[in-house]
Copies of this chain bind each other. A is one copy, B any other.
Amino acid sequence: MPSLASTFARWGTPPTPVTVSAEAREFLTDTLGEPNPRPSVPLAEVVTPESRLTAAQLSALTEIVTDSGVSVTSSDRLAHAAGCSLTDYLKQRSGDASNPPDAVVRPASHEQVRELLSFCSNHGISVVPYGGGTSVTGGVSRADTKALAVAIGFDRMAQMLSIDEVSMTVTVQPGITGPVLERILATRGLTWGHLPQSWERATIGGYIATRSAGQASTGYGRSDEMVEWLRVATPMGELELGRAPKSAAGPDLRQLFIGSEGAFGVITEITLRIRHLPAITKYEGLMFPDYASGVAAFRELAQARLTADVMRLSDADETHATLAMSGPKGRQGDLFGKYLDVRKVSGGCMSILGWETQSRIALTARRRAAWSILKRHGAATLGSSVGQSWKKHRFDGPYLRDELLDRGYVVETLETATHWTTIDQLRSAVKNALVGALETETGHPYVMSHVSHVYETGGSLYFTVLVPAAADPIAQWASAKQAATDAIVANAGTVTHHHAVGRDHAAWLEDEIGIEGMRILRAVKAAVDPEQVMNPGVLLPMA
């Protein structure tokens, strides 16, 4: 169960201390100026509206999920009121209780979910499936204040159900998190390998419902590519989809529920493809002379199918910020600068490659093949320590955001993907849109970008924005997000590569799939959720 402390507008307390370093603070002050601190409104001052469920409704819900399955406490409801987008955080930090659900309901089985959805459908109660609550696109942030609503918590459906070591699959309930699943799999030398930045809190059901991609998805595959089988409960019935690894038996209906974000039903069981834990891993840093060389090298690696398992390419701004905030300083910094000069990559673009292999022989063979391409594009190695450092800090981002928000910065990320032919145009357009929307006479944004995943035909782009908070930071970010997403759809980008549609991107989905595509989604919704109770406003804008 997410605790209030960790979810009320904070990612929480890190397992090992994470804090914005002195160098980073200096870089930010120099670059963006020193904003005024913006502490959260103390939780004690937040007023949570009372649950509007009647005693009869609560009693009926309790009958479905038993006593321990229904909670109407303020803290529980607040903890399930929003996700982790900047807007969610800013609202909650301002003391806005954000229209919490009237109850948190925790079913313990597929059958209880079936009954719960049927009951809510019959009684016009909205249902928000709330996994780890890590959505950054408003996927769990209910906007409609009129309808009664419950959030589904998955704490009682968080088991690993079975492992098949012959077919290399694992079957899980949706509420299990990555750390728990990986711990179980590791005892048998297995791994799922899905590591997005939300890993410490997100649930497997949430990954699948949102088509999540993780840091190692270039190697292990995206979450949506690793689903072998799904069990789904809808208000109208249930489905089991995925008879075989591949099939030609008509449309692939798994692909309707994967990415359905709770709008069609609840994923109650999932079979995932797994792999053997790597025996030998290597994470390394490298520097390209410029961004174009890096993109060309990444494209060539992808098209030759010689990719690393983790592949990241920072643009010059992200590289500059990374080196300023955590690069070598003093005499070491001078030596590093000379090394870059000698290798002709000063002012270039940093990259991280992560290799996960079964043997040193395999690692050597893969790296040798890749480096023959990398060298042709002018890459210089920065060694393993840079790669190890990235790996060590891979989950730090959300903790740092907590501190930066306290300090008065606005910090947010967004992402897209496109084909190689349009990737430069898309990056420039989004960056310009963000800078244009956030630039003021007094406040300057810092916008960084990296290629986060590569495919044979294209790649994804991830953007990080830092800017001193304006008087109304929610409006400040809304205009930037609008400008960026308009730029994405105008420049051949998908509205989201791995953050899902949620409520924040819903207005742009028609641009992506067309009027007829929206009509098909509504037809499916009408078939499985005729009373429109499932996560209203997600995917399909509310009427």
Check B250–A259 contact: CB distance below 8 A.
yes
Taken together as a complex, chains A and B put the C-alpha atoms of A255 and B254 apart, in Å, by: 9
Taken together as a complex, chains A and B put the C-alpha atoms of A260 and B481 apart, in Å, by: 36
Name the one of B237, B259, B455, B495 contacting A252, with C-beta atoms under 8 angstroms: B259
Check B275–A244 contact: CB distance below 8 A.
no
- A421 within 8 Å of B (CB atoms): yes
- A358 within 8 Å of B (CB atoms): yes
Check B516–A238 contact: CB distance below 8 A.
yes
Q: A246-B453, A420-B166 are in contact. Are A236 and B493 (CB under 8 A)?
A: no
Taken together as a complex, chains A and B put the C-alpha atoms of A241 and B365 apart, in Å, by: 38
Check B358–A494 contact: CB distance below 8 A.
no
Taken together as a complex, chains A and B put the C-alpha atoms of A210 and B255 apart, in Å, by: 16
- A87 within 8 Å of B (CB atoms): no
List the one stretch of A50-58, A142-150, A401-409, A496-504 in contact with chain B. A496-504
A276: B residues at CB distance < 8 A: 303
> Which residues 219-268 of A sit at the B interface, judged by CB distance below 8 A?
222, 224, 228, 234, 236-241, 243-253, 255-261
List the one stretch of A31-39, A331-339, A521-529 in contact with chain B. A521-529
Q: Nearest chain-B residue to A265 (Cβ)?
A: B516
- A458 within 8 Å of B (CB atoms): yes
List the one stretch of A380-388, A464-472, A507-515 in contact with chain B. A507-515
A250: B residues at CB distance < 8 A: 259-261, 500-501, 509, 513, 521, 539
Check A166–B421 contact: CB distance below 8 A.
yes
A249: B residues at CB distance < 8 A: 259, 494-496, 500-501, 505, 509, 512-513
- A456 within 8 Å of B (CB atoms): yes
A237: B residues at CB distance < 8 A: 515-516, 519
Minimum CB–CB distance for A298 against chain B, Å: 13
A169: B residues at CB distance < 8 A: 419, 457
A513: B residues at CB distance < 8 A: 239, 241, 249-250, 253
Taken together as a complex, chains A and B put the C-alpha atoms of A449 and B224 apart, in Å, by: 32
Taken together as a complex, chains A and B put the C-alpha atoms of A421 and B240 apart, in Å, by: 19
A247: B residues at CB distance < 8 A: 211, 417, 494-497, 512
Check A222–B239 contact: CB distance below 8 A.
no
Check B365–A245 contact: CB distance below 8 A.
no
- A167 within 8 Å of B (CB atoms): yes
Minimum CB–CB distance for A323 against chain B, Å: 30
- A542 within 8 Å of B (CB atoms): no
Minimum CB–CB distance for A300 against chain B, Å: 11
Taken together as a complex, chains A and B put the C-alpha atoms of A455 and B257 apart, in Å, by: 23
Check A457–B168 contact: CB distance below 8 A.
yes
Taken together as a complex, chains A and B put the C-alpha atoms of A169 and B365 apart, in Å, by: 28
- A416 within 8 Å of B (CB atoms): yes
- A520 within 8 Å of B (CB atoms): yes
> Which residues 465-496 of A sit at the B interface, judged by CB distance below 8 A?
492-496
- A273 within 8 Å of B (CB atoms): yes
Check A517–B241 contact: CB distance below 8 A.
yes
Check A498–B458 contact: CB distance below 8 A.
no
- A67 within 8 Å of B (CB atoms): no
Taken together as a complex, chains A and B put the C-alpha atoms of A517 and B369 apart, in Å, by: 45
Taken together as a complex, chains A and B put the C-alpha atoms of A456 and B457 apart, in Å, by: 23
Q: Nearest chain-B residue to A240 (Cβ)?
A: B514
Which among A238, A251, A259 has the highest number of chain B CB atoms within 10 Å?
A251
Q: Nearest chain-B residue to A365 (Cβ)?
A: B365
Check A494–B261 contact: CB distance below 8 A.
no
Taken together as a complex, chains A and B put the C-alpha atoms of A419 and B273 apart, in Å, by: 11
A246: B residues at CB distance < 8 A: 213, 222, 417, 453, 455, 460, 494, 497
Name the one of B166, B456, B497 contacting A273, with C-beta atoms under 8 angstroms: B456
Q: Nearest chain-B residue to A251 (Cβ)?
A: B256
- A198 within 8 Å of B (CB atoms): no
Taken together as a complex, chains A and B put the C-alpha atoms of A161 and B367 apart, in Å, by: 38
- A304 within 8 Å of B (CB atoms): yes
Taken together as a complex, chains A and B put the C-alpha atoms of A285 and B458 apart, in Å, by: 36
Name the one of B213, B238, B421 contacting A248, with C-beta atoms under 8 angstroms: B213
Check B519–A244 contact: CB distance below 8 A.
no
Check A493–B211 contact: CB distance below 8 A.
no
Minimum CB–CB distance for A438 against chain B, Å: 24
- A164 within 8 Å of B (CB atoms): yes
Q: A167-B421, A253-B517 are in contact. Are A457 and B213 (CB under 8 A)?
A: no
- A418 within 8 Å of B (CB atoms): yes
Taken together as a complex, chains A and B put the C-alpha atoms of A167 and B454 apart, in Å, by: 11
A7: B residues at CB distance < 8 A: none
- A212 within 8 Å of B (CB atoms): yes
Minimum CB–CB distance for A497 against chain B, Å: 6
Taken together as a complex, chains A and B put the C-alpha atoms of A164 and B134 apart, in Å, by: 38
Can you name 11 A-B pairs with beta carbons within 8 Å?
A167-B421, A168-B456, A237-B516, A239-B513, A239-B517, A244-B418, A244-B419, A245-B456, A250-B259, A251-B524, A253-B517
Report the 4 A-B pairs with minimum CB-CB distance, sorted nearest first: A523-B527, A255-B255, A211-B248, A244-B494
